[in-house]
Amino acid sequence: MTLNGWAQIALYVVVVLALTRPLGGYLANVMAGGRNWLSPVLLPVERAFYRLAGINPAEEQSWWLYCRAVVVFHLVGFVFLYGLLRLQAVLPLNPQGMPAVPADLAGNTSVSFLTNTNWQSYGGESTMSYFSQMAGLAVQNFLSAAAGIALAMAMIRGFARARAKGLGNFWADLVRVTLYVLLPACIVLTLFFVWQGVPQNLGAYVDAATLEGGKQTIAQGPVASQLAIKMLGTNGGGFFNANSAHPYENPTALSNFVQMIAIFVLGAALTNTFGRAVGDERQGWALLAAMGVLFIAGVAACYWAEAGGNPQLAALGVDNSLGNMEGKEVRFGTPLSALFAVITTAASCGAVNAMHDSFMPLGGMVPLVNILLGEIIVGGVGSGLYGMLLFAIVAIFLAGLMVGRTPEYVGKKIEAREVKMTMLAILCLPLVILGFSALASVLPEGLAGTSNAGPHGFSQIFYAFTSAAGNNGSAFAGLSANSVFWNATLGIAMVFGRFAVIVPMLAVAGSLAAKRRAAASVGTFPTHGGLFVGLLVGSILIVGGLTFLPALALGPIAEHFSLLAGTLY
């Protein structure tokens, strides 16, 4: 580990923190339907959308109606995207003449982009036409991110409102987030990436003659625009197969830095939006602090493991001073690869600038654990916040009784219904991850995908389902997942991981909104201080850790100790 490495990590943290409050305020304003500097231009557009769709943005939806709107919206989105991918061959903007995407892959990909997972069982440049990328995948990148933020807003309103029936209007939330937040930010980011050298064209692939006299095909396309929303919306689906390790998708140190900022910025800002909504910004900072503690710990562990390098290589006399460089871009080195890996899995982004599969056992365990904990360390746009709030409910309930009162969080009493729904949401992750991993690790169809034996092969399986259920989308890419078995099981895992959390989460929000707001006193559990942060971190680690420790022991932990003992897989 180097001072330079740590300085870059520190700079990253400072910039994210600096952006949190102003952006949090802006988001709060957008969600409240307030006017801002973009309104003169966008308000007519917004109104036109409502008129076109016949929506009254002021109409409040109960949690159930909100939930129904979310589900209907995603179903329609699925049909549209699936159809588009299947018909790709006859649609325009296909200079490479890509054939139709096979049924199982099209289904898997549609689900994947709809659920903000962006798991890719395919290589973008060899499978997707420009039209599919732009009109299909990029659109879902915007909408799944907007839906995530809208859902977080519904949850925030659940805490902020008292004796209310409605959680807001999903359609209005969706339109506002897309118009006022994602679209303008992405235009700016796209221009920035173009400046940095990311291609933005519709031309055919270019052939180049290499120095050895061979022929190399260099893929082209509307990369920059896709890249902006891929990061900002924590989607993570790369335009190219190599994702942000590809020089066209991440050309410079600055583009790398901005991409990392873009992953966290909205998720971090939402904590502040939450604080503002409940009338105490400290509540938001406390959540962000809990996320921060877990984040820094993850970065430190991952950077330490990667910078240390492989002891078996060192024993062979290889210079290990750069750390473990397998699967890494030399231009990023261990600190920026480790940082990117932790960010992309802490949030539910899944974009990568290094191959997680090639990380040291413990280094690769950090991204895995990040997703296993529920991607609540800043997390996906929206989903990170509501996931964290669900954990806050558990933490408050576990220990909150110890102050001698019915547990309360920001003035809302946590009672049987909230606990029940929260446990339901939390249960779905282990159910899907452990269940499918158990299946895949004994079925020949599952085992066929792994590229390594022993605990590392198990890690590949385990990581795949974790990534899918957590709607992350990154992979231990040694796994070949484009088979019917993997496409189907991962598709189911993604749907479950998204909707089995959303439905009970909205139920919690609805039930909270209907409650009266309890007054705070010195007898109330203070949820804005260090004690609460510690409690929250402890609860997340214990609940998450206890659930997955046996699997982790058989994967990365076993591999780590084998490595120390000289056994490689």
Partner 1 sequence: MATRDKAPSLFDAAILKPAIVASFVKLDPRTLMKNPVMFTVELVAVAATILMARDISVHGPGVGFEIQIVAWLWVTVLFATFAEAVAEGRGKAQADTLRRMRSETIAKVLLGVGGDLFEPVRAHSLKVGQVVLVEPGDIVPGDGEIVEGVATIDESAITGESAPVIREAGGDRSGVTGGTKVLSDKIKVRITAEQGSSFLDRMIALVEGASRQKTPNELALSVLLAGLTLIFVLAVVTIPSFATYAGGSVSVIVLIALFVTLIPTTIGALLSAIGIAGMNRLVRFNVLALSGRAVEAAGDVDTLLLDKTGTITLGNRHATEFLPVGGVGEDEVARVAQLASLADETPEGRSIVVLAKEKHGLRGVDMADLKARFVPFTAQTRMSGVDLDGKVIRKGAVDAVVAHAQSMGAAVPLEEITRIASSIGKQGGTPLAVSRDGVVLGIVYLKDVVKGGIRERFAELRRMGIRTVMVTGDNPQTAAAIAAEAGVDDFLAQATPEAKLRLIRAEQAGGKLVAMCGDGTNDAPALAQADVGVAMQTGTNAAREAGNMVDLDSDPTKLIEIVAIGKQLLMTRGALTTFSIANDVAKYFAIIPAMFIAFYPQLAALNVMKLATPQSAILSAIIFNALIIVALIPLALRGVQYRPSGAAALLRRNLLVYGLGGLAVPFVGIKLIDMLVTVTGLA
Site for partner 1 in 137-176 (CB under 8 A): 162
CB burial readout 525-559, b (16+ within 10 A) else e: bebbeeebbebbbebbeebbeebbeebbebbbbbb
Q: Which of 46, 25, 28, 70 is nearest to 510 (CA)?
A: 70
Q: Are strands 206-209 and 215-218 parallel, antiparallel or unpaired?
A: antiparallel
CB of 475 to partner 1, least distance (A): 19
**Size of residue set near partner 1 by CB under 8 A:** 70
Q: Which stretch binds partner 1 (CB under 8 A): 97-105, 111-119, 363-371, 524-532?
A: 524-532
Q: Which stretch binds partner 1 (CB under 8 A): 82-90, 92-100, 124-132, 526-534?
A: 526-534
Q: What is the distance of C-alpha 33 from the center of its chain?
A: 26
Q: Which stretch binds partner 1 (CB under 8 A): 133-141, 142-150, 166-174, 531-539?
A: 531-539
Between 270 and 360, CB nearer to partner 1? 360
CB of 409 to partner 1, least distance (A): 13
Q: How many helices (H) and strands (E) would you count in the chain?
A: 22, 4
| The binder of partner 1 chosen from 97, 213, 444, 523 (CB under 8 A) | 523
Residue 192 CA to residue 512 CA, distance in Å, equals 42
Residue carrying structure tokens 């600096």 = 18
Between 42 and 438, CB nearer to partner 1? 438
Is the CB of residue 372 less than 8 Å from the CB of residue 544? yes
CB of 549 to partner 1, least distance (A): 5
Tokens describing residue 493? 């895992």
CB of 292 to partner 1, least distance (A): 20
Site for partner 1 in 357-396 (CB under 8 A): 394
Residue 458 CA to residue 440 CA, distance in Å, equals 9
| The binder of partner 1 chosen from 30, 157, 525, 556 (CB under 8 A) | 525
Q: Which of 282, 269, 505, 491 is nearest to 374 (CA)?
A: 505
Residue carrying structure tokens 């859902």 = 151
The reply on whether position 441 binds partner 1 by CB under 8 A is: yes
Residue 307 CA to residue 511 CA, distance in Å, equals 48
Q: Which of 32, 116, 29 is nearest to 350 (CA)?
A: 116
| The binder of partner 1 chosen from 148, 455, 470, 497 (CB under 8 A) | 455
| The binder of partner 1 chosen from 60, 104, 326, 415 (CB under 8 A) | 415
Residue 568 CA to residue 417 CA, distance in Å, equals 49
| The binder of partner 1 chosen from 400, 449, 470, 473 (CB under 8 A) | 400
CA distances from 100 to 23, 136, 137, 168, 356 (A): 41, 13, 15, 40, 30
Q: Which residues pair with 413 in a beta bridge?
A: 408
| The binder of partner 1 chosen from 139, 427, 488, 514 (CB under 8 A) | 427
Q: Which of 230, 161, 176 is nearest to 381 (CA)?
A: 230
Between 187 and 564, CB nearer to partner 1? 564
Alpha helices by DSSP H, 32-138: 39-53, 63-86, 103-114, 124-127, 130-131
The reply on whether position 519 binds partner 1 by CB under 8 A is: yes
| The binder of partner 1 chosen from 104, 485, 554, 569 (CB under 8 A) | 554
The reply on whether position 568 binds partner 1 by CB under 8 A is: no
The reply on whether position 409 binds partner 1 by CB under 8 A is: no
Between 264 and 476, CB nearer to partner 1? 476
Tokens describing residue 218? 């260099």
Q: Which stretch binds partner 1 (CB under 8 A): 124-132, 233-241, 316-324, 513-521?
A: 513-521
Q: Which of 32, 44, 277 is nearest to 172 (CA)?
A: 32
Tokens describing residue 506? 């909205």
Q: Which stretch binds partner 1 (CB under 8 A): 111-119, 290-298, 377-385, 422-430?
A: 422-430
The reply on whether position 514 binds partner 1 by CB under 8 A is: no
Residue 410 CA to residue 392 CA, distance in Å, equals 11
CB of 560 to partner 1, least distance (A): 8
Contacts to partner 1 by CB under 8 A: 162, 394, 397-406, 411, 414-416, 418-420, 423-424, 426-427, 430-431, 434-435, 437-439, 441-442, 447, 454-455, 457-458, 516-519, 521-526, 529, 531, 534-535, 538, 542-543, 545-551, 553-554, 557-558, 561-562, 564-565, 567
